[in-house]
Amino acid sequence: MRVKSKSIVLLLLLLFTILVVANPMDSSYIQATDLTGINVAVYEGVTNEQSSSLSSRTALFWMFRWMNATVEVVTAAEIRNGILYDYDIVVVPGGWAWAYFQDLGVVGVSMIRQFVEDGGAFFGVCAGAYFACDGIRWEGEYIEYSLDLYPNVGNGPIEEIAAWPNYNMTVINLNKGTEGPVLSGEPDTHAVMYYGGPYFETTGTDGVLTLAKYDVNDEAAIIAYEYGQGRIALSGPHVEWEEDSDRDEVVWENAFDDEGSEWNMMLEISLWISEGHSPTSPMTNIATTSSTQSTDPSSTRPSLEIMIGFVGILVFIATGIIVSKTRKRVF
């Protein structure tokens, strides 16, 4: 009887182990601490002086590498050919926003918008942030833009900080209690490089999280929000540049001091825009729609809770059998 009882218990433990391994807990329950497993595409832009800033693009590349993401530089031609669906985040650096429209064309702009709608993430800084706006107001002149990932206006330059084309350090005040990215571990302020970037009009725009404001005018400097199935973060100042460090591979000759890095803050923001979002290509969407069966593997197998309950029932039945046989032997 003891041998049989032990055999039953061992069999049940083995069955429980198999079920747990076959149906592990959803990875969304695990809090990510970096961007391991996240693929980032940094847009290069056309190769001329008025396109994407080499220093901004370089710093963004190394910032996301520091976050342990897989980072690659992509061109407009590659974006038009659908390469973004190999990535989780598309990053547009500083430079000249209008040149991006000329470089990408209608097809490239539409591909970026569709990528975000389908669950991809977008991060734009300075010109990359202007590029995402429905329109910009530059030196008082309004210009309509067509990417329209942000349904409001980006305003610049901010003369109180630096008249264009000058640049200067400025202070942003963090909204540490905002929903979305976890900024509670950040200092109250950051000193950042400003180089003609926008502040964002937010009045009347639902769902926008103002993560930081310029100290000089109390206007939105960094925002984040959801768009379709994806998420977006935009920054007016250059949070990617490390003015007193060479880890961004950009040399500032120690002319400025940012009094601490913004990279930890950007990690939290990047975790939020990429959290639980994986872009699905239009072809995959079509295949999913035409199928009567869900493509989500978790929907085709019992949940872990059901499995545990099933094993519990088996244990209860087995215990009853063991107790019953023991009673027969004793009495």
pLDDT in tens, 245-299: 889 998 876 678 888 899 999 999 999 999 976 677 665 443 333 333 333 333 3
Q: Which amino acid is at 48?
A: N
CA atoms within 13 A on the CB side of 119: 14
Question: For residue range 60-83, what is the model confidence (pLDDT) as tens digits?
Answer: 999 999 999 999 999 999 999 999
Q: At what angle do helices 2-22 and 304-330 cross, to 10 degrees?
A: 180
Q: How far is CA 235 from CA 35, 53, 158, 172, 238, in A?
A: 19, 15, 14, 11, 7
Indicate left, alpha or beta for 126 from its phi (over 0: left) and psi (-120 to 50: alpha): left
Helix, strand or coil, per DSSP, at residue 95: coil
Tell me the two tokens of residue 189. 């302020």
Mean local confidence (pLDDT), 150-171: 96
Sequential DSSP letters for 236-259: SSBTT--TT-STTS---TT----S
Average pLDDT over residues 155-171: 96
Which of 113, 102, 122, 109 has its CA nearest to residue 42?
122
Say if CB 198 and CB 88 are below 8 A apart.
Answer: no
Residue that is written with structure tokens 């250059």 in the block: 238
Q: In this model, does residue 122 exceed pLDDT 60?
A: yes
Residue 223: per-residue pLDDT: 98
Q: What is the pLDDT of residue 46?
A: 72
| Better pLDDT: 274 or 316 | 274
Eight-state DSSP code of residue 93: -
Residue 113 CA, distance from chain mean position: 15
**Phi-psi bin for 204: left (phi > 0), alpha (psi -120 to 50), beta?**
left
At 203-246, the pLDDT tens digits run 999 999 999 999 999 999 999 999 999 999 999 999 999 988 88
Q: Output the pLDDT for position 257.
A: 81
**What confidence tens digit (pLDDT) does each residue in 12-61 have?**
544 444 444 444 444 444 567 999 999 999 999 875 555 568 899 999 99
Cα dihedral angle (284, 290, 295, 299), rounded to 10 degrees?
A: 150
User: Largest alpha-carbon pair distance within the chain?
Assistant: 97
Taking the C-alpha atoms of residue 102 and residue 116, their distance in angstroms, rounded to an integer, is 20
Domain covering 30-284, topology: Rossmann fold (3.40.50)
Q: What's CA 174's distance to the chain center, in Å? A: 19
Phi, psi of 290 (to 5 degrees): -80, -10
**Would you state the structure tokens that stand for residue 74, as one six-digit string?**
């992509």
- SS3 of residue 222 by DSSP: strand
Distances in Å between the Cα of 122 and the Cα atoms of 42, 65, 119 are 10, 17, 10
In the prediction, which pLDDT does 237 show? 98
